[in-house]
Structure 1
Amino acid sequence: MEFKKPYFVVILIQTIYAVMFLLSKAVFDRGMNTFVFVFYRQAFATIFLAPLAFFFDRKTAPPLSFVTFIKIFLLSFFGVTLSLDLNGVALAYTSATLASATTASLPAITFFLALLLGMERLKVKSVQGTAKLVGIIVSMGGVATLALYTRPHVKLPFCLHRHGQVQDHRHIISSGGATWIKGCFLMITSNLLWGLWIVLQGLVIKAYPSKLFFTTLQCFLSSIQSFVIAIALERDVSAWKLGWNLRLLAVVYCGFIVTGAAYYMQSWVIEKKGPVFLSMFTPLSLLLTLLSSALLLCDVISLGSVVGGVLLIIGLYCVLWGKSREQMNGDDDPKSALRKENEVKVVVG
């Protein structure tokens, strides 16, 4: 049973993310402002994490210097607030399937950004290096396919959503639709910022190693930042009301379950099995989202979504395979790459 536990947990994590995409898309389709949603999500996450950080990290957390605070503030703004705001607008313009698909390509995006920053090395003439390079290219091809190839449409014969909203969605993803292209661009930008956040927070957390307090501080700062953005763009009081409805469920779920429970479970899986094992299961979220959005939201499945999703999965596994082989052979040394700031970033041979 102990052996099976990491598999059960990682499947649960991907299910949590699939539900997040579906709930977010559902409330956006019902008219909830995306910027208000991000504020409430981060505020609820702060409420959830703050007591935990106080009880578990208050005695061990190191003093917070002004320079480190500024770094965390900027990291929160670009990697959390701006990334989530762009993701929310993109999700309102596109579909839950696209959001899940681009998220599945995050390991490839993160590796590419780490390569540009000199935190990774790429030996393009080695088998492992070629696999990682091919993976990046194939992943980019998958994103382009999702964005540009939106026909033919396939809709399941039954769903649980209203017919009128299905027609609206058909109009949005019509061939060459400007709204869909705009949404894809925003989604890619959001994931680039998210990937950059993953890469850079590894450097910032060295200066402030209290992980729980570090995460709570990011959520708190992001709450303030997202509130300023939301109040500037949405002045209608009615848009801020939650009530006992789907809006409240969505923000509580994203704040408590996604940011709180899923964060802890991911840390546990990485500790038990490593980051590669966790990343290997990210396509499961795409599959769950694709089927659930078609059944529950009546999202129209296009051939481009299927082909693009397959390309993203292939690209992801190419990068993960190359990365794991380098780790097994002892060729991967990010710390060494960081020390060699003046060396060429791409090694041939």
Structure 2
Amino acid sequence: MAAAVDGNILKAHLAMAVQQLFFAGYHVITKVALDNGVNQFVFCMFRDLVALSILAPVAYLREKRTRPPITRHLLMSFFFLGLTGIFGTQLLFLLGLSYTNPTYAAAVQPAIPVFTFLLAVMMGTEKVNFLRYEGQAKVGGTLVCIIGAALIVLYRGPELVGYTDLNFVANSDLSARSQPSPYEWLLLELGLDRFRLGVLCLIGNCTCYAVFLSIMAPVLKRYPANLSVAAYSYFFGALLMVGTTLLMTNGSTDWILTGSEILSISYAGIIASGLNYGLLTWCGKFLGPALVALFYPLQPVASAFLSLIFLGSPIYLGSVLGGSLIIAGLYVVTWASYRETQATHGVIPFLSQASEPFIDKDAPINKNSYQGDSGSSRSLSNP
């Protein structure tokens, strides 16, 4: 049994790595479709409908005998998963991508674990003890990630790799519509240009995804049918997206799709949505939200590389420096979380400022100084 669990954990790690590569390809393919003029709302709606048409029958056939009964509380949870992880996340990402570029869109994604950590602290599901090195490392790593994200937004710097194509830049600065929509006019009147508007949308995308991951973990414990969770989430997300698209689109021209746009929607619906969200919910059962979020720093590397090859988008010094800080801070937070988990189970001792990390096992120990977050006392000599 233990070997089977270890095997599933290894498969989950590999699946999350592959998922980030698929997401990086989605960044590039979608940017091309947006620059060609596809409407963001129409793109999201068709993407969700394609994903739902795949997830729903697969979930029904594979889990119809194993999934628990649906309750009103579960339906409400599925609605919030669809609202944050499908509707809010996808729409804000598409809007942000249309006003920036794939490299910047992927560079903001590593902030998802930071937002997830901050949300968990505010909700009380994550505890920080400032008297232990693990707690200090969590706070310090979070601050480093925030500084890295701010550096990416505020500082571009010289080009390190690639070249600036003026035609490409001009097309990247245009939204999918030739004229701003009403909400864009309001933000532009407040002094926000399209690039900063895109950054705000990408930050909102990360916030929605952090909420989605925080809600998904307890839902999977109560309803361990991961494909059904993804299908129900996409049902509510697609429902919200259809209503929003009908309200926000003008004229029949928004619904006309070219061959390349249909190909982009197919990739987004089948690979980036159906397959990736199915993998995400499955991996969440074995890894948890913290480790799932850990893999998102792989997106900037893969996306920048694919953007350089297929779009000619240059890589700037600010992106490299900011991305390095985000990844460094992220791994500090992850290291601290891992040590706390091991110490809580008695595998290793807590690193407290009040004691030395290495203590003779026969020396007297004040057990009160090793109170865990769960409230149970432990000693180093008797884990």
> TM-score, normalised to structure 2's length?
0.76
Matches for 1:209-220 after TM superposition, within 5 Å: 209-220=224-235
Matches for 1:1-349 after TM superposition, within 5 Å: 9-154=15-160, 156-157=162-163, 164-169=167-172, 178-243=193-258, 245-266=259-280, 279-330=293-344
Give 1:276 shift: 6.4
1:242-287, Cα deviation, whole Å (9 max, x unpaired): 34x2212222212211223334445666677777665554333211
Instruction: Provide the C-alpha distance between the structure 2 equivalents of 1:65 and 1:267, rounded to a whole number of angstroms.
Output: 20
Instruction: Provide the C-alpha distance between the structure 2 equivalents of 1:19 and 1:217, rounded to a whole number of angstroms.
Output: 26
Instruction: Provide the C-alpha distance between the structure 1 equivalents of 2:223 and 2:292, rounded to a whole number of angstroms.
Output: 25
Number of aligned residue pairs: give it: 328
Pair 266,210 (structure 1): closer, same or farther in 2 beyond 3 Å: closer
In structure 1, the partner of 2:363 is none
Is the Cα–Cα contact under 8 Å of residues 14 and 281 in structure 1 kept in the other structure?
Answer: yes
Instruction: Provide the C-alpha distance between the structure 2 equivalents of 1:147 and 1:45, rounded to a whole number of angstroms.
Output: 32
Is the Cα–Cα contact under 8 Å of residues 217 and 289 in structure 2 kept in the other structure?
Answer: no
Instruction: Provide the C-alpha distance between the structure 2 equivalents of 1:224 and 1:315, rounded to a whole number of angstroms.
Output: 38
1:78-98, Cα deviation, whole Å (9 max, x unpaired): 332022111110111111112
1:302-345, Cα deviation, whole Å (9 max, x unpaired): 2221111111111111111111111121279xxx97x99xxxxx
Give the partner amino acid of 1:149: Y
Instruction: Provide the C-alpha distance between the structure 1 equivalents of 2:283 and 2:66, rounded to a whole number of angstroms.
Output: 24
Is the Cα–Cα contact under 8 Å of residues 230 and 277 in structure 2 kept in the other structure?
Answer: no
1:55-81, Cα deviation, whole Å (9 max, x unpaired): 112223333233432332233123320
Instruction: Provide the C-alpha distance between the structure 1 equivalents of 2:247 and 2:84, rounded to a whole number of angstroms.
Output: 18
Instruction: Provide the C-alpha distance between the structure 1 equivalents of 2:208 and 2:288, rounded to a whole number of angstroms.
Output: 23
In structure 2, the partner of 1:343 is none
Instruction: Provide the C-alpha distance between the structure 2 equivalents of 1:5 and 1:210, rounded to a whole number of angstroms.
Output: 18
Give the partner amino acid of 1:50: A
Give the partner amino acid of 2:210: G
Pair 229,149 (structure 1): closer, same or farther in 2 beyond 3 Å: same
User: After alignment, is 121-130 or 268-277 more displaced?
Assistant: 268-277
Instruction: Provide the C-alpha distance between the structure 2 equivalents of 1:56 and 1:20, rounded to a whole number of angstroms.
Output: 27
Give the partner amino acid of 1:147: V
Give the partner amino acid of 2:202: M
Is the Cα–Cα contact under 8 Å of residues 150 and 305 in structure 1 kept in the other structure?
Answer: yes
Pair 77,7 (structure 1): closer, same or farther in 2 beyond 3 Å: closer
1:122-165, Cα deviation, whole Å (9 max, x unpaired): 1122111111111111111111111111233456159xxx7512
**Structure showing greater relative contact order (alpha-carbon pairs closer than 8 Å, 6 or more residues apart):** 1
Instruction: Provide the C-alpha distance between the structure 1 equivalents of 2:108 and 2:249, rounded to a whole number of angstroms.
Output: 28
Instruction: Provide the C-alpha distance between the structure 1 equivalents of 2:167 and 2:277, rounded to a whole number of angstroms.
Output: 37
Instruction: Provide the C-alpha distance between the structure 1 equivalents of 2:77 and 2:294, rounded to a whole number of angstroms.
Output: 31
Give the partner amino acid of 2:105: A
1:191-211, Cα deviation, whole Å (9 max, x unpaired): 111101110222344444432
Give the partner amino acid of 2:340: E
In structure 2, runs of 5+ residues without a counterpart are 1-6, 176-190, 347-371, 376-383
Give the partner amino acid of 2:306: S
In structure 2, the partner of 1:344 is none
Give the partner amino acid of 1:152: P
Pair 272,206 (structure 1): closer, same or farther in 2 beyond 3 Å: closer
> TM-score, normalised to structure 1's length?
0.83
Give the partner amino acid of 2:135: G
Is the Cα–Cα contact under 8 Å of residues 109 and 297 in structure 2 kept in the other structure?
Answer: no
Is the Cα–Cα contact under 8 Å of residues 105 and 313 in structure 1 kept in the other structure?
Answer: no
In structure 1, runs of 5+ residues without a counterpart are 341-349
Pair 153,177 (structure 1): closer, same or farther in 2 beyond 3 Å: farther
SS in 2 for 1:122: coil
Give the partner amino acid of 1:297: L
Pair 89,272 (structure 1): closer, same or farther in 2 beyond 3 Å: closer
Give 1:116 shift: 0.7
User: After alignment, is 258-267 or 94-103 more displaced?
Assistant: 258-267
Give the partner amino acid of 2:321: V
